[in-house]
Amino acid sequence: MIENPKPSDWKGLQTSVCKILNEVGIHSETEVTLETPRGEVEIDVFGIDHNSVEKIRYIVECKNWQNAVPQTIIHAFTTVLNETGGHIGILISKEGFQEGALKYIKHTNIVAMTFLEFQARYFDLWFTKNFCAPLAASVDTLLQYVEPVNSLRYRCLKDLDATKLEEFTALRKRYEIFAMVVSLLAADKMLPIGHLAQRFDNSTLFNIEDFKNRLVDNLGGEFSYQSIYYRDLVNEMSGHINEITDKFHHVFGRNIFS
């Protein structure tokens, strides 16, 4: 999952929802006041998809309650959605919804879900934009050090003495698969490692422990990461990539690609 599915308070829930919507390309703000025929109303999270032809408007209400949300709340939210000109209504509850509430929205433009379900709904797009893209950027230099053919690296290798050349060879052997895995993952959500090559689908990726276990099983204990949410894991992996890249810089005495 992207982050903690159980925020400590309502404020944290709406802030997290807003952040994820922004990260997937839906411009969003919290606590937005909108005009309705009956006066002003404050929206927990208001989003607009500027990339859509109709500039789709999202009206989001967050309930960080300890109990399931009842049908009466759905009725009130339906009125707000209609009177603010919203195209899609999203109700997010910490503890889910009563059966009557779910039955009521079955044939409406309202979606009711827990924050965990909300993360799953937008995960695929979030993963591409906010996990794969940053990792691809962070691994670029490392990939140039280990990729099969690189003319600049080849020229610089000629200047290394035997000890440094041996050090480079050992580093390349140790990290070339990792660098290529990260690069290909970013491009295609795939871990292409020998006979264990397997394309990840959305549900498999969403289980971060499965993802981390695959890394360890195929690459070894050095690649055992501690983060339990993807938002933290991307930073942990990027930091590790930078540390590995610095080892190559050290061999050459500089970043040969800068």
What integer pLDDT is reported at residue 20 of this predicted model? 98
Domain ranges across the chain: 10-108, 123-252
| 15-62 tens-digit pLDDT | 999 999 999 999 999 999 999 998 999 999 999 999 999 999 999 999
pLDDT in tens, 96-125: 999 999 999 988 999 999 999 999 999 989
Give the C-alpha distances (Å, rounded to integers) separating 167 from 106, 122, 139, 173, 218.
63, 44, 20, 10, 23
pLDDT given for residue 193 in this prediction: 42
Of residues 239 and 67, the one with the higher pLDDT is 239
pLDDT-derived band at 195 (thresholds 50, 70, 90) equals very low
CATH architecture, domain defined by 10-108: 3-Layer(aba) Sandwich (3.40)
Q: Mean per-residue pLDDT for 221-234? A: 96
- What's the pLDDT band for 202 if we cut at 50, 70, 90? low
Q: Residue written as tokens 């309930």?
A: 63
10 Å Cβ neighbour count for 135?
19
Band of pLDDT at residue 181, cut at 50, 70 and 90: confident
Q: What is the pLDDT of residue 191?
A: 45
CB 88 within 8 A of CB 57: yes
Name 211's Cβ contacts closer than 8 Å, sequence gap at least 6. 200, 204, 205
- Chain position carrying tokens 């992996």: 237
**Residue range 117-148, pLDDT digits in tens:** 999 999 989 998 999 999 999 999 999 999 99
Rounded Cα distance between 11 and 117, Å, is 18
* Band of pLDDT at residue 66, cut at 50, 70 and 90: confident
